[in-house]
Amino acid sequence: MDAFPSYSVTNYTTTYNNMIITSLPKNIVDHILNFTNADTRQMWVALQGRRLKKIHDGECFARILWCLAQGPAFCPAHEHKHRAPGDDRNFFYGIPPWHADGSVNPAGVPPNFGEPEPLDKNWALLDDWNADTGWNCGRCEAWVPRPPRKFEGAKEPPDWWWCMDCRRVKARAPSLAEKRQQKAAANCRSIDTYVGNTK
Interior CA angle at 90 toward 11 and 72, to 5°? 115
**pLDDT tens track for 139-182:** 898 888 777 888 888 888 888 888 888 888 877 777 888 888 88
- How many C-beta atoms lie closer than 10 Å to residue 19's C-beta? 9
Cα dist. 174→44, 112, 157, 178 in Å? 19, 25, 18, 6
Burial (0-12, 13-18, 19+ Cβ within 10 Å), 58:
exposed
How buried is residue 199: exposed, middle or buried, by Cβ count under 10 Å (0-12/13-18/19+)? exposed
pLDDT greater than 80 at residue 198:
no
Model pTM?
0.46
State the average pLDDT over residues 184-189: 76
Residues 16-39 have pLDDT tens digits of 443 566 667 778 878 888 888 888
Considering only residues 88 and 198, tell me which one the structure prediction assigns the higher pLDDT: 88
Nearest to 74 by CA among 85, 89, 58: 85
Residue 195's pLDDT band, with cuts at 50, 70 and 90, is: low
CB atoms within 10 A of CB 135: 14
Model confidence at 76, pLDDT cuts 50, 70, 90, reads confident
Distances (CA, A) of 49 to 25, 43, 46, 93, 184: 17, 10, 5, 11, 35
130 neighbors 120 (Cβ within 8 angstroms):
no
153: left (phi over 0), alpha (psi -120 to 50) or beta: left
Residue whose C-alpha is closest to residue 60's, from 108, 122, 106, 22? 108
Q: Among residues of the chain, what percentage have pLDDT more than 70?
A: 73
How much is the pLDDT for 124?
53
